[in-house]
């Protein structure tokens, strides 16, 4: 991560400490000193900008920093204008799939939902396990698939932390590669959507409070037209990143994965919207207390899907190279539709 505004980093640290989340979000205590305090100490002795504000302190934040660097490179390649020193993207328990902009000193503080990263990873992993892929049979049957998904959604609804679901086995081979590509594309979209707001100078319309199991955090709401615009630009950022990665890649093994990476770039953004839709539908059936955290602050995820998918299809149609097969997003939607009637009672049992 490049240099960031010191005041912006402080705004984030203040939020983390207010909710007592230092250990969960920044890193463990070392020698009696919390990582947040150590960063704070370093910040005291630096100038206006500070390099690598949060890196090396939390594994998940490190992963997020990599995605942020990719989104920023893609944004520059598209000619989007922003001052990276005044944008900080950091983890927070939001209880929502979407990333949000939050009030902060000296720039744009983007909070990425910690639970959303877990939901994306775990549900896609279950999908990979449940599907025949690359000529290999499915690893789990329908009942196991429903059970595993129900564990993940119930942990999200109850604790805001899908990682509390029973641990899933590791994937290998092409399944592991595809999971990585999809999860990274989805994360880039969550971040890219917020960068679109920043670069587009979309006005803040109002503020709302997002509640999760761990916190209640104030965030900005925006015009719905700007939300649709941010989806479109966010997806373009994911596709631009894919083009940059493909052009820079020397690894012959990667060349064979270009098709997969291309499919993942089309699918990741749609999967974020699909997860939001599934959570809305589950909540509609189960009436989960405290969910959704801010129902009216974004357009309905189904409408966002309908608006975004033609944009992605068109983008691929415009490319010189033949488009990859693009049935995965629709396939994932049908996968959830097919499981839904069994998934609802399974989640209900776990929440009882
Ligand atoms: Zn937005």
Whole-number Å distance, alpha carbon 229 to ligand 1 midpoint, is 9
Whole-number Å distance, alpha carbon 199 to ligand 1 midpoint, is 12
What pLDDT, on the 0 to 100 scale, is given for residue 214?
83
Whole-number Å distance, alpha carbon 202 to ligand 1 midpoint, is 9
Whole-number Å distance, alpha carbon 249 to ligand 1 midpoint, is 31
Whole-number Å distance, alpha carbon 228 to ligand 1 midpoint, is 8
Residue 206: CA count within 13 A, CB half-sphere: 9
Whole-number Å distance, alpha carbon 329 to ligand 1 midpoint, is 21
What pLDDT, on the 0 to 100 scale, is given for residue 57?
66
Whole-number Å distance, alpha carbon 239 to ligand 1 midpoint, is 18
Rounded CA separation 262/48 (Å) = 40
Whole-number Å distance, alpha carbon 131 to ligand 1 midpoint, is 32
Render pLDDT for 232-270 as a digit per residue (tens, 0 to 9).
999 999 999 998 988 887 777 766 677 888 899 999 999
Whole-number Å distance, alpha carbon 38 to ligand 1 midpoint, is 32
Q: Binning pLDDT at 50, 70 and 90, where does residue 282 land?
A: very high
Whole-number Å distance, alpha carbon 300 to ligand 1 midpoint, is 12
Reading the block at residue 145, the tokens are 């698939």
Whole-number Å distance, alpha carbon 222 to ligand 1 midpoint, is 7
Classify residue 51 by burial, with Cβ atoms within 10 Å: 0-12, 13-18, 19+.
exposed
Classify residue 62 by burial, with Cβ atoms within 10 Å: 0-12, 13-18, 19+.
middle
Whole-number Å distance, alpha carbon 41 to ligand 1 midpoint, is 33
Pairing of strands 100-102, 216-221: unpaired
* Minimum mean pLDDT range among 32-41, 106-115, 281-290: 32-41
CA distances 278 to 244, 272, 285, 298, Å, are: 32, 10, 11, 15
Give the closest residue to 129 by CA, choosing from 173, 65, 66, 81.
Answer: 173
Whole-number Å distance, alpha carbon 197 to ligand 1 midpoint, is 7
Q: Binning pLDDT at 50, 70 and 90, where does residue 194 land?
A: very high
Positive or negative torsion for Cα 150, 62, 270, 142: negative
Whole-number Å distance, alpha carbon 309 to ligand 1 midpoint, is 17
Q: Are 85 and 109 in contact (CB under 8 A)?
A: no
Whole-number Å distance, alpha carbon 233 to ligand 1 midpoint, is 11
Total-model pTM: 0.94
Classify residue 79 by burial, with Cβ atoms within 10 Å: 0-12, 13-18, 19+.
exposed
What pLDDT, on the 0 to 100 scale, is given for residue 203?
94
Please say if the pLDDT value at position 44 is more than 80.
Answer: no
What pLDDT, on the 0 to 100 scale, is given for residue 30?
62
């Amino acid at each position: 991560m490049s240099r960031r505004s010191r005041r912006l980093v402080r705004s984030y640290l203040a939020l983390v400490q207010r909710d007592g989340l230092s250990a969960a979000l920044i890193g463990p205590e070392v020698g009696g000193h919390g990582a947040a305090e150590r960063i704070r100490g370093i910040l005291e002795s630096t100038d206006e900008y500070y390099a690598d504000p949060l890196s090396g302190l939390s594994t998940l934040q490190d992963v997020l920093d990599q995605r942020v660097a990719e989104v920023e490179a893609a944004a520059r390649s598209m000619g989007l204008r922003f001052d990276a020193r005044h944008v900080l993207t950091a983890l927070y328990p939001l209880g929502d799939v979407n990333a949000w902009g939050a009030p902060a000193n000296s720039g744009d503080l983007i909070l990425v939902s910690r639970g959303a990263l877990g939901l994306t990873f775990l549900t896609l992993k279950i999908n990979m396990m449940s599907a025949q892929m690359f000529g290999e049979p499915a690893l789990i049957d329908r009942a196991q698939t429903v059970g595993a998904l129900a564990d993940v959604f119930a942990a999200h609804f109850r604790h805001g932390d899908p990682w509390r679901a029973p641990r899933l086995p590791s994937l290998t081979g092409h399944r592991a590669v595809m999971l990585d590509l999809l999860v990274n594309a989805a994360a880039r979209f969550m971040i890219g959507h917020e960068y679109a707001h920043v670069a587009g100078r979309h006005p803040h319309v109002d503020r709302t409070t997002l509640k999760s199991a761990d916190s209640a955090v104030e965030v900005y709401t925006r015009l719905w037209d700007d939300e649709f615009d941010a989806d479109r630009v966010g997806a373009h950022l994911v596709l631009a990143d894919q083009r940059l990665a493909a052009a820079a890649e020397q690894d012959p093994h990667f060349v064979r994965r270009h098709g997969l990476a291309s499919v993942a770039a089309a699918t990741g953004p749609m999967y974020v919207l699909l997860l939001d839709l599934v959570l809305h539908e589950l909540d509609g059936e189960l009436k989960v207390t405290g969910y959704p955290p801010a129902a009216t602050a974004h357009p309905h995820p189904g409408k966002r899907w309908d608006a975004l998918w033609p944009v992605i299809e068109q983008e691929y149609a415009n490319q010189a190279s033949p488009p990859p097969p693009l049935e995965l997003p629709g396939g994932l939607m049908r996968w959830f539709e097919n499981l839904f009637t069994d998934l609802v009672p399974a989640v209900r049992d776990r929440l009882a």
